[in-house]
Amino acid sequence: MAAEEHEPMSELLTRYPRKRCAILPALRAAQEKRGRLDDEAIAKVAERLDLTTTEVTAVASFYHMFHLEPVGQYVIDVCTSMPCGLLGGEQLVDYLRGKLGIHVGETTPDGKFTLREVECLGACDGGPVMHINDREHRNVTPERIDAILTELGYDGGEG
């Protein structure tokens, strides 16, 4: 590993009593740098925290905000747990599938949007809830989806 790759991690490790306590910020930093947590990123985090790649992968795969597979520029997470589901979460997923022309788990051909269904996002009083990357959207409707996607440069699937 090059010296410059150690630097941000070294700084990060000074904030925690034990190396392994830094696993979530370390994964976040690795993902920000590489766009996702591929095998090399997982191996580097494991090496720096004195963990096995299996341990690091287990943590990374538990949290929906970490991406082990390639994703689009914008990851759209729609909550379909019961409270949001009762308020239309499933219909929003259907709307997005139709609008983007992709299935859940897929990315648009231009690499811009990835659609996912997720469990409770911890904002049930504002359902249905959707996250796009780290930004939360509450009380989402198809009309709001249209406005949000336009803001993000959605071009109607014209590529």
Contact assessment for residue 89 and residue 145, using Cβ atoms and an 8 Å cutoff: no
Q: How far is residue 88's CA from residue 70's CA, in Å, rounded to a whole number?
A: 28
In the list 42, 93, 129, 145, the residue contacting ligand FES (rule: CB under 6 A) is 129
Per CB under 6 A, 124 contacts ligand FES: yes
By C-beta, is 8 or 83 nearer to ligand FES? 83
* Contact between 139 and ligand FES per CB under 6 A: no
Q: How many CB atoms lie within 10 A of CB 129?
A: 27
Helix (H), strand (E) at residue 51? none
| Under rule CB under 6 A, residue 65 binds ligand FES | no
Contacts with ligand FES, 91-120, as mask; x by CB under 6 A: -----------------------------x
| 127 lies in the site for ligand FES, by CB under 6 A | yes
Q: Classify each residue of 130-158 as buried b or exposed e, where b means 16 or more C-beta atoms within 10 Å of its C-beta.
A: bbbeeeebeebeeeebeebbeeeebeeee
Chain residues binding ligand FES by CB under 6 A are 79, 81, 83-84, 120-124, 127, 129
